[in-house]
Structure 1
Amino acid sequence: MIVNQPILLFIPIFLLSPIITAQSSNYCNRSCGEKSVPFPFGFSADCEIPLNCSSNKQQLIAGFPILTINADRIKLSIEATCDRPLQALRRLYGPGYAPSSLNAILLQNCSLPKPCKIPTTTVYTHFEAIGCSPNNSSISCYSENKTNGFVDYDKVTRTNCKSFLSSISAESFDESDVLEIQVVELGWWLQGGCPDYCSENAFCDEIVPPFNGQPGFRCRCKNGFIGDGYRASHGCRKDCNTARYISGKCGGSTGLALLIGGIAVGAFLMICAVLVCCFRKRQSNSKDRHSAKRFLSEASDISIPIYTYKAIEKATDGFSEKQRLGTGAFGTVYAGKLHNNSWVAIKRIKHRDTDSIEQVMNEIKLISSVSHQNLVRLLGCSIENGEQILVYEFMPNGTLCQHLQRERGDGLPWPVRLTIAAETAQAIAHLHSAIDPPIYHRDIKSSNILLDYNFRSKVADFGLSRLGITEISHISTAPQGTPGYLDPQYHQNFHLSDKSDVYSFGVVLIEIITAKKVVDFSRPPNEVNLASVATDRIGKGRLDEIIDPFLEPNSDSWTLSSIHKVAELAFRCLSFQREMRPTMMEVAVELEQIRLSRCVPAEEITSGTSSEVSPCSSSSNISEQPLSIAVNNKVGLENRGLFMLEMTNVGCMNLIEKLKDNSPVSTQDTWLSEQSTPSSSSLLNNVTH
């Protein structure tokens, strides 16, 4: 008993020593409710880097909620707020933290906008969702051209921006990198020198704070050690789980034997798991193929082939980048050759949230059942390997967007653009009015309007909005549409309707008139959004300022008049209030009237008194009925074939036939080469005004 007495006396003293130390030193409260933060952060004045704990137990810095804290950075949630004073950004510069250079600071009301490292489309999408009015177009973005360090607050203030909107954070600003929207990353440090704080077996990283003052540092454990590296906290200890210490330093030979045995068992279980997964995957692929065939065979009106995944891989040369035609909201499109050796467009749909083969096949049935001369035809599908692949007819003359932006050819003359607009409107109206239930496209844009050999308009992706989301009553909380084309009311109620398609098509009409980009940050801040610019100019009677000079609007009276009529129609389509927008059926009829007016005086078309058939009239069934009567009888118009209008000009030279004579010789030559549409001069020579 006498021998053990010193030990018994020593243990209580040892256990009490931390309490005595804590009482004799400054105390730091590191808990906020049930959540705690690591050293050196805390929620009392004596902490090395003090934070705030709100009444509802939310961790804050300068009033902004904390998302995460790790060994070198803090991430805060920066909710986008319109007209927040720029001085609010200064609150993010504390005694031991500041915004790192991996942020793009989003600013508002700027007289000297700064270039931004992140894609402008991403920035615009972010701003469009905020709905700042009326200054939402005067947005700028500040970022540093460095990967280490901090955002220079003085340089931000010199941009002459008045408001701090939000921030976007990323590991880098490459196009492939994932961006964190409405997030700011703070780098943090401790003030002072390393010898006083870093523990043994720890490195000391010196930090240069953004403002002149005391230098800073951070500690981190050397390889093979774990902990936070600070003397006042956990310090560094050997990591016995790493291969570096298997030799026995962390458990001896017994530990080594147990470790080796555990590795062997783990390897065996892993091999078994891989074999089971491969077997199940093979079963699943076989089940998918049989399910797809069964669902298609049950529908007597569906007759599209189902291709194997291997056949699709072979057709696209393993989804080669050389055969990639483009990437959109719903997937990537590749050119490929299948069994009949003809070119097709193969769309590899992006990963979906649902694995239901029944739902996928039902959606494919829906798309394949829709038939219209101005909708891209679905030729087949592949449902294997967890992939959902659709095969479409190939469009050799690219997209309307490529022609308007002069990426293919030198431009399209006005009659051709007007015909494309009229055909596109007819296709969308068909989806809205001739399908039960109606289909809302939800992503109408010039890059989804394709052109065939004859420069006939073909609308793509008209069913993929259904494939992209599971929803109830067309209400969605997932992002839909493309920046610049999106219905402004969508952000108020997350509701997409037929009038949302009308708005998007109105933007396409403005593109056709101006040949300008829908979103362009190289334009002045208040002209970034093309729809806003167009409604302003049209409303003020200054449309001539934005008409594409290539169209030569003053070359003849019909060209000038018809451009203004299309602009007025677009203006109504872009109305903020959905109830004020026309239906797509009304849009299609009006565009066809404008197109036909080129060959017949307007008074003869609208009066319906002409005894002869117009040389530019349609060959469809509505030729028996004056167009004015059709406009006033929408039900009759739908039943009598409005949506199957075709151009068969007699007196007027057939524009499409003339373009066909100058179109590329073969599909194979088109998509692989730089060959584009006929030159603007040849087009104009073949068009009779």
Structure 2
Amino acid sequence: MCINTPGSVTCVCPRGFYGDGRKDGKGCIKVTKSKSKTIILTGIGSALGFLLFLLMCFGLYKMLKKRREKMIKEKFFKRNGGLLLHQQTNEGALGKTKVFPSQELEVATDYFNESRILGRGGQGTVYKGMLSDGKIVAVKKAKLVEESQLEQFINEVVILSQINHRNVVKLLGCCLETEVPLLVYEFMPNGTLFELIHNPNNEFPITWSMRLKIATDIAGALAYLHYASSVPIYHRDIKSSNILLDEKYVVKVSDFGTSRSVNADQTHLTTLVKGTFGYLDPEYFQSSQFTEKSDVYSFGVVIVELLTGQRAISMGKTDDDRSLATRFLTCMEEKCLDKILDPQVLEQGRMEEVLLVARLAQRCLNLKGKRRPTMKEVSTELESFRISQMSCSIVKEEVEDETVFEAKPYIIFRY
């Protein structure tokens, strides 16, 4: 069948034939079985070849993508201080700290969903996550990719890898292959000491014995950092919001981003002033020299928070009364401590015990660092106060039991 076209003609062969259908050309040639097989095999071969080409292209794309992702992760690892961490850890490849893949932490936090946020701080945001094994963790994500903050993150990994204490938060691992570094900690379900003191729960009031135990445990952790760890460590940012509480309300000192290790013969660190107003040692603020007694001052403010239930800085007051430490020291000098104490402390605590703790806090807040006690002395004193308090509680219970027993009427049976 031929169709005329301008200046030419187009012919189509009938079914079972092939060719151009022209008399002056190939004409129409009948398709034989062998020729049919050849055409079919040629078509299949062409299809398979094209499919193989597509598979090769896809494999090459995946390989290049994987290589690119690896290069990006290596770039982030170096930028996020991985090499610095490698140098500072004693055992080389991140020591005993587990390195989490970025994908696992993304899945654990539902891709850092805002509903998972536990808190925000100066260094970053903390998310609640669940690992593949079902373990609940807290994932700390850096806020900004700045060199100073990266140093704080790496410093926190190095510091916490050296510490093993029941009252210091445990670092489970880190991830440095993401755009910003991630740190993974054990999860603390009961928030911070700041929330416990300043946002009280009527169903679970913070008792005097609980306050004393919290103060004792914090002091024990700081004494360990100063004297019992492999190298002395100054925390440099002790405050109630950096004290976490586990499911049994056991305290865990956290946030070691600004902490520093010092040599055994080193008496102070000369650094830019870092810390939180209200907890900052006035001597350090003036001299820029941070000593172990600077941590003692900050801890003294935390004790006063526990005693008074008031914030370290009260924005609604005048400049002179804004500092809790200043108001407390004034009350101690004027012997009007009862005016500043928390009502629950007045109600539940024995006045002798409360006064002893208050005097210890007064010594910790001495403006001259040399006159402050060491954290080891503070820990020992608080431990003795607590043992004494527990002994008094036991004696009181025994006396009450005896009183109840003696008060029971005697019934005389007559036979």
2:260 is aligned with 1:474: no
> Quick one: structure 1 residues 297 and 370, their matched pair in 2 at CA, closer, same or farther if it must change by over 3 Å?
closer
Contact 2:86 2:94 (8 Å CA) reproduced: no
2:99 — aligned with what?
306
2:371 — aligned with what?
580
Q: In the TM superposition, what is the alpha-carbon distance from 1:355 to its structure 2 partner?
A: 8.8
Equivalenced residue count is: 323
The 5 A counterparts of 1:324-335 are 324-335=117-128
The 5 A counterparts of 1:219-258 are none
TM-score by length of 2: 0.69
Distance 2:232 2:145 in 1: 23
Distance 1:286 1:299 in 2: 15
Distance 1:279 1:436 in 2: 36
Q: In the TM superposition, what is the alpha-carbon distance from 1:569 to its structure 2 partner?
A: 0.5
SS in 1 for 2:223: helix
SS in 1 for 2:166: coil
SS in 1 for 2:269: coil
Distance 1:582 1:484 in 2: 20
2:26 — aligned with what?
none
1:598 — aligned with what?
389
SS in 1 for 2:141: strand
Distance 2:211 2:94 in 1: 35
Q: In the TM superposition, what is the alpha-carbon distance from 1:516 to its structure 2 partner?
A: 0.6
Counterpart selection for 1:387 from 165, 171, 180:
180
SS in 1 for 2:277: coil
Distance 1:548 1:599 in 2: 21
Contact 1:348 1:387 (8 Å CA) reproduced: yes
Q: In the TM superposition, what is the alpha-carbon distance from 1:564 to its structure 2 partner?
A: 1.1
> Quick one: structure 1 residues 406 and 359, their matched pair in 2 at CA, closer, same or farther if it must change by over 3 Å?
closer
Contact 1:417 1:512 (8 Å CA) reproduced: yes
> Quick one: structure 1 residues 356 and 543, their matched pair in 2 at CA, closer, same or farther if it must change by over 3 Å?
closer
1:561 — aligned with what?
352
Matched to 2:367, the amino acid is: F
Matched to 2:178, the amino acid is: N
Distance 1:366 1:287 in 2: 20
Contact 1:292 1:357 (8 Å CA) reproduced: no
Matched to 1:376, the amino acid is: V
> Quick one: structure 1 residues 423 and 286, their matched pair in 2 at CA, closer, same or farther if it must change by over 3 Å?
closer
Contact 1:404 1:411 (8 Å CA) reproduced: no
Q: In the TM superposition, what is the alpha-carbon distance from 1:431 to its structure 2 partner?
A: 0.4
2:285 is aligned with 1:491: yes
Distance 2:258 2:176 in 1: 18
The 5 A counterparts of 1:184-223 are none
Structure 2 residues not aligned, in runs of 5+: 1-67, 261-267, 400-415
Greater than 4 Å deviation, 4+ residue runs:
277-280, 286-297, 355-363, 407-410
> Quick one: structure 1 residues 510 and 337, their matched pair in 2 at CA, closer, same or farther if it must change by over 3 Å?
same
Distance 1:586 1:396 in 2: 31
Q: In the TM superposition, what is the alpha-carbon distance from 1:456 to its structure 2 partner?
A: 0.9
2:211 is aligned with 1:420: no
> Quick one: structure 1 residues 300 and 334, their matched pair in 2 at CA, closer, same or farther if it must change by over 3 Å?
closer
1:537 — aligned with what?
331
Contact 2:145 2:180 (8 Å CA) reproduced: no
> Quick one: structure 1 residues 308 and 292, their matched pair in 2 at CA, closer, same or farther if it must change by over 3 Å?
farther
The 5 A counterparts of 1:493-512 are 493-512=287-306
Distance 1:358 1:403 in 2: 31
Counterpart selection for 2:168 from 375, 385, 393:
375
Q: In the TM superposition, what is the alpha-carbon distance from 1:313 to its structure 2 partner?
A: 2.4
Q: In the TM superposition, what is the alpha-carbon distance from 1:615 to its structure 2 partner?
A: 7.6
SS in 1 for 2:118: strand
Q: In the TM superposition, what is the alpha-carbon distance from 1:499 to its structure 2 partner?
A: 0.8
Matched to 1:339, the amino acid is: S
> Quick one: structure 1 residues 413 and 436, their matched pair in 2 at CA, closer, same or farther if it must change by over 3 Å?
same
Q: In the TM superposition, what is the alpha-carbon distance from 1:386 to its structure 2 partner?
A: 4.2
Q: In the TM superposition, what is the alpha-carbon distance from 1:345 to its structure 2 partner?
A: 1.0
Matched to 1:382, the amino acid is: C
SS in 2 for 1:336: strand
SS in 1 for 2:390: coil
Quote the sequence identity (%).
38
Distance 1:561 1:481 in 2: 33
Distance 2:346 2:149 in 1: 53
Q: Residue by residue, what CA displacement relative to the aligned partner does 1:78-127 show, whole Å, maximum 9, x if unpaired?
A: xxxxxxxxxxxxxxxxxxxxxxxxxxxxxxxxxxxxxxxxxxxxxxxxxx
Matched to 2:211, the amino acid is: R
1:528 — aligned with what?
322
Structure 1 residues not aligned, in runs of 5+: 1-276, 468-472, 602-613, 617-649, 653-689
Q: In the TM superposition, what is the alpha-carbon distance from 1:278 to its structure 2 partner?
A: 8.5
Distance 2:156 2:205 in 1: 37
Distance 1:395 1:480 in 2: 26
SS in 2 for 1:598: helix
> Quick one: structure 1 residues 586 and 339, their matched pair in 2 at CA, closer, same or farther if it must change by over 3 Å?
same
> Quick one: structure 1 residues 293 and 592, their matched pair in 2 at CA, closer, same or farther if it must change by over 3 Å?
closer
Which is helix-richer, 1 or 2? 2
TM-score by length of 1: 0.43
Q: In the TM superposition, what is the alpha-carbon distance from 1:366 to its structure 2 partner?
A: 3.3
Q: In the TM superposition, what is the alpha-carbon distance from 1:453 to its structure 2 partner?
A: 1.3
SS in 1 for 2:176: strand
Distance 2:333 2:91 in 1: 54
